[in-house]
Amino acid sequence: MLLSAGAWGDAVLKFGNTIGAVAGFLGVLAVVFLAAARASRGASGRFARPLATAVMLGPALVLLLIGLVAPLIRTVYLSLRSDDSRRFVGGENFGWAFTSDSVREVLVNTLLWLLVAPLAATGLGLVLALLVDRMRGQTVYKSLIFMPMAISLVGASIVFKFVYESRDASQQQVGLLSRLAIAAGWDDPPNWLLSQPLNTFLLMAVMVWVQTGFAMVVLSAAIKAVPDEVTEAARLDGARGVRLFWYVTVPMIRTTVVMVLTTVMITTLKAFDIVRTMTGGNFGTQVLANEMYSQSFVQFNTGRGSALAVVLFLAVLPLVVYNIVQLRRERAVR
């Protein structure tokens, strides 16, 4: 189907704007680098390095303030205002967030996601790392397992929507899960995305499918970094199989396991794409990130949406801080 002249013109205009924005960004970078080089050459030896550092970090700090700090302050401000941001309501929005039955269900679902999905992805990634490392052609298998990481969560959700597709009993089932259920003897499989609380776990399976490859690659590298001397000494002491893995390998890679677990937790806490694409938060599958979007941009209640955004930020912050501390400790040990 051919595009009309107006559509072509609009597409060309948007493409030109994109090219212009990229060119402008590259131009700003070129000016910054040029200014840093000249400042370093023109300054005396004692001030050359601090001046160059300030010139190089200045744009990044400005962008950080504009893109992160200022929106954070504004979000906190809006969370203390009414739905139209005209009246100051104090902690009323936060009181609603923790006392409303509907939001309490959202928080329970989010906590369930936080407990199940990261543990499943990390555990499965660890098992696959052990198994694949002992196989020939491990690079091929690792690439196939890691491949879902290249797919966006929206794309993965669309793929699994076809997997969970369910039709009336009078029609032929085309969904993979329904076909497998029929092959196993289940004559009338349910509509998977409508079945509570099973649908929540089916949505988690998408996150696990995407994140397992990341966990496997990182943990595989950590296992290979365990010194052979430690493993050989454990074998001489009689450790074999599961005992060797649990009492020797796991303690040696504990920091990496924690890092992978907290990283997947952060991604899970911000899970929005999967729920929005597959169920829209309906049928008991709502989570905090999607509820924040719904309150802000569907129901246009800026105060409540901002309050949920602050709650989500406060939930993610300890995980980020813990991850940074663990990485610094690991670097200090090395």
Highest mean pLDDT among 60-64, 131-135, 271-275: 271-275
- From 113, 267, 294, 121, select the one nearest 199 (Cα to Cα): 113
Which of 31-45, 77-91, 118-132, 289-303 is predicted with the least confidence, judged by mean pLDDT? 31-45
- From 219, 221, 222, 240, select the one nearest 231 (Cα to Cα): 240
pLDDT tier, 318 (very low <50, low <70, confident <90, very high otherwise): confident
Q: Where are the domains of the chain?
A: 5-79, 93-333
Q: Provide the sign of the torsion angle of the four alpha carbons 29, 34, 37, 40, taken in this order.
A: negative
- From 30, 34, 39, 29, select the one nearest 63 (Cα to Cα): 29
pLDDT of residue 64: 84
pLDDT of residue 3: 53
pLDDT of residue 5: 63
Torsion angle defined by CA atoms of residues 30, 32, 37 and 41, in that order, rounded to the nearest 10 degrees: 140
- From 137, 158, 287, select the one nearest 210 (Cα to Cα): 158
* DSSP state letter for 91: T
pLDDT tier, 141 (very low <50, low <70, confident <90, very high otherwise): confident
Q: How far apart, in whole angstroms, are the C-alpha atoms of residue 276 and residue 106? A: 14
pLDDT tier, 4 (very low <50, low <70, confident <90, very high otherwise): low
pLDDT of residue 79: 93
pLDDT of 16 over the 90 cut:
no
pLDDT of 1 over the 50 cut:
no
Between 95 and 64, the more confident residue is 95
The pLDDT tens digits of the residues spanning 100-125 come to 888 888 999 999 999 999 999 999 99
Residue type for 214, please?
Answer: F
Secondary structure percentages of the chain, helix, strand, coil, to 5: 80, 0, 20
pLDDT of 12 over the 60 cut:
yes
Q: How far apart, in whole angstroms, are the C-alpha atoms of residue 78 and residue 309? A: 10
Rg (CA), the chain: 26
Percent of the chain whose predicted confidence (pLDDT) is above 90: 30
> pTM to 2 decimals?
0.80
CATH of 93-333, one of 3.40.50.12500, 3.30.1300.10, 1.10.10.10, 1.10.3720.10: 1.10.3720.10
